[in-house]
Amino acid sequence: MTLTNAAGSPSPGGLDADRVLERVTRVLAVTLGIEDRLEELMPGTQLLDSLPELDSMAIIDVILATEEAFGIEIDETEITGDVFESIGSLASFVHAQVGTATG
């Protein structure tokens, strides 16, 4: 799966889409305490209603951990169910945010 920013191009700042996906997956696993299942987490892995560890409080923790890991600020109005649909959708969102923050 190739991820691009909102403009459809690789994000600036040296983080390509695959690296963003890898880091987002790790942030999720560590934040949710499911590092032992890291190998099972794929871009198509559904998040909401599929990972019991991802409750409303955990979503906040994931957002905060993601902001810290990528040095970005996520506007709460941008957080939607679509963003948290899958690991891939979350990674695409973060990739776009990284591009915005550095571009």
pLDDT digits (tens, 9 = 90+) for 7-53: 344 444 568 999 999 999 999 999 999 999 999 999 999 999 899 99
Q: What is the pLDDT of residue 11?
A: 41
Q: Mean pLDDT over all residues of the chain? A: 87
Prediction pTM value = 0.83
Q: What is the pLDDT of residue 15?
A: 81
pLDDT tens figures, 68-84: 999 999 999 999 999 99
Give the integer Cα–Cα distance in Å for 14 and 83. 23
Q: Give Cα separations from 4 to 10, 32, 55, 61, 89 (angstroms).
A: 5, 26, 28, 25, 11
How is residue 49 written in tokens? 């209603």
Question: Which domains, from first to last, does the chain contain?
Answer: 17-102 (1.10.1200.10)
Identify which has the larger pLDDT, 42 or 5: 42
Q: Give Cα separations from 30 to 27, 65, 97 (angstroms).
A: 5, 9, 21
